[in-house]
Chain A
Amino acid sequence: MAPVSMAQAINAALADALADDDRVVVFGEDVGALGGVFRVTDGLTAKFGEDRCFDTPLAESGIVGMAVGMAMNGMRPVVEMQFDAFAYPAFEQIASHVAKMRNRTRGALPLPMVIRVPYAGGIGGVEHHCDSSEGYYAHTPGLTVVTPATVADAYGLLREAIASPDPVVFMEPKKLYWAKEEVTLPARTAPFGRAEVRRTGTDATLVAYGPAVPVAMEAAAEAVAEGWDLEVVDLRTIVPFDDDTVMASVARTGRAVVVAEAQGFAGVASEIAARISERCFHVLEAPVRRVTGFDVPYPPPKLEHHHLPGVERVLDTVATLQWEDR
């Protein structure tokens, strides 16, 4: 086993999918000769040729719209949005067509396609480069919304996304691109719709996804010193949502904190908190809490550390879970 970064794992998943399936094509802005601004598509054009991995004009709606047409004609396009906030011009295509084509045509025109979105902050990016936009997609029926937190999952989930008969928005936590793990590729991981318990614990459950998972893991490690044994659940796929694993964990621990980097209001974390409250009310020892970003536009680099939910804020919140009743 060798240390592999998340960016390398995604690159390997793309290369393996291109090699295994002629219908797969990769395109977007700067994904060709440059290999993408994060080098995630490095070497793909050289290896597979211009027809399989190519640059497009600068137009996100055009990129996604073109992918829709290609998927209608039997291909499996994988497109890259350069940054989270630059996917917004494509939102009409995503919400009105990508998400709805199968339903509109009663299954006659499925759209097997993947929209890769580098997202979220923590990298000192300037405005428009750090949005947590997963809520927009998760709120749109018809989309599968996936976000890996580990290197192995980045590979395994992307391969499943490309093989999926449904369109997938694949959200890649930018700050984890360079995180390395010892893994052997190709890695196979649990299928869509299955959350993973990354750390078992008995006192409270931290539910997290994407960039918040390492934060939750660190918080759990530090919580030991406070006498709390925390369980960490990594959602992996926001849609489909794994109620079973989350609820089973909270049923065991009786306490839950949802950790997400996105602004909290009307977001994915709120949905998770509501689901836990509805389903686990009778076993809860304390109200379900959320630790999220503030409800502000993503801050400038010098202020982002105030905004991002960090270990301390997670532990402060865990401290409010009515331990006196224990």
Chain B
Amino acid sequence: MTTRSGIDLLPTSRPLQLLDKRGRRAPKTRGGGLAMPDDETLLAAYRALVVGRRFDRQATNLVKQGRLAVYPSSHGQEASEVGAVLALRPTDWLFPTYRDSVALVTRGIDPVEVLTLLRGDWHSGYDPVAHRTAPQCTPLATQAPHAVGFAHAARLKGEDTVALAFLGDGATSEGDFHEALNFAAVFRAPVVFFVQNNQYAISVPLARQTAAPSLAHKAVGYGMPGVGVDGNDVAAVIAAVAQAADRARSGGGPTLIEAHTYRMDAHTNADDATRYRTDEEVAAWRDRDPVDRITAHLRGAGLLDDARVGAVAAEAERVAADLRERLPEQTPPDPAELFAHVYSSPTPQLREQADLLRAELAEEV
């Protein structure tokens, strides 16, 4: 009886990187064979990062103005949010969490529809089929088995769709994370598990989630490759996700990617991050800012000039202004909808209850 050592599945000792924190080409050894995305892709990433960051800041401001109930910001994580989406084909499916609004905007979903959940109008605002994007998932890690099932069904149907599940570091402690990775590996499902390790699950640091050498190391236990990547290096994120997606598409099975990044803002507006982390720690991560990094790289490579920076900034402002303007202010959702989608057709009991509510509302006016 022999066992596989699994050494080939282990992540590198340091996260893969293509661009260092100043935007210079990282030493070849740090890239682990990842291919630098082409210029056009990097420019598209730059644009998405700037727009995504502006959207994120706008959403945070909308909370302060009382126009959104809550917003979990991904400020600081934009390279991971954007890179994971841009590495995929539009036909691939995303299984995002509440944290991943910037990924959804990158996918092309109307920002107003992205925020429907957080405005409290409905539980999800966009058409998941049209955008190949599952509704944002709140119960931690529970979307991961959905990605596995979706991907397995694609294989059975002879389609080459890949499913990418977004997860947080804290979510890797949940049972569904384990079950999903195990199923994906056993069925060789075309899935990419994309963990954004932003170092905290609300207030709880990574050290309280796991004693593993890194989250990417967990992959070896399931028999799939684990990849650690600098999550603030959009070039490396795109390259790592593209590589995993190619493998999945060609029948090579799933990959676990751990993107090392940092949540610059609090967990949500309702959280006070000063209770559990220091200013020094935050400052150190600010120095690794993902937008500054790609900007420096593109400028250094002569791919980005002031005119283009200005144009992208103006576009980002337009996205924010448009969001402010169109976010519905005074159009309450239709109460009749409460009963409309519970079943394909309402049960007699639901019809009775809908009538009751309608009568109550009629009496009010």
Residues of A near any B CB (own CB < 8 A): 25, 51, 56-57, 59, 61-62, 64-75, 77, 89, 92-93, 96-97, 100-110, 141-142, 144, 164-166, 193, 239-241, 243-244
Contacts and interface: CB of A to CB of B under 8 A. Distances in A.
B201 interface: no
Contacts of B344: 102, 107, 110, 164-166
A66 B344 CA distance: 22
B343 interface: yes
A322 to B, nearest CB: 29
Interface in B103-143: 122-124, 127-129, 134-135, 139, 142
A62 B139 CA distance: 14
A69 B175 contact: no
28 contacts: A25-B156, A57-B183, A59-B182, A62-B176, A62-B180, A62-B183, A65-B146, A69-B149, A70-B150, A70-B152, A72-B134, A72-B146, A75-B153, A75-B156, A77-B149, A93-B145, A102-B343, A104-B122, A104-B124, A104-B135, A105-B128, A105-B135, A106-B340, A108-B127, A164-B344, A166-B343, A241-B347, A241-B348
B128 A61 contact: no
A4 B75 CA distance: 63
A56 B139 contact: no
Interface in B146-201: 146-154, 156-157, 161, 163, 175-176, 178-180, 182-183, 186
A144 B343 contact: yes
Contact of B146 (A97, A103, A244): A97
Contacts of B161: 73
A56 B145 contact: no
A199 B186 CA distance: 51
A64 B149 CA distance: 9
Given A57-B183, A59-B182, A59-B183, A65 B156 contact: no
A107 B349 contact: no
Nearest to A103: B341
A69 B157 contact: no
Q: Which of B129, B153, B348 has the most CB of A within 10 A?
A: B153
Contact of B154 (A73, A97, A144, A240): A73
Contact of B144 (A65, A77, A106, A107): A65
A59 B176 CA distance: 9
Given A97-B142, A104-B135, A106-B122, 16 more contacts: A56-B183, A61-B175, A62-B176, A68-B146, A69-B145, A69-B151, A72-B153, A73-B154, A106-B341, A107-B340, A110-B344, A141-B342, A240-B343, A240-B349, A243-B348, A243-B349
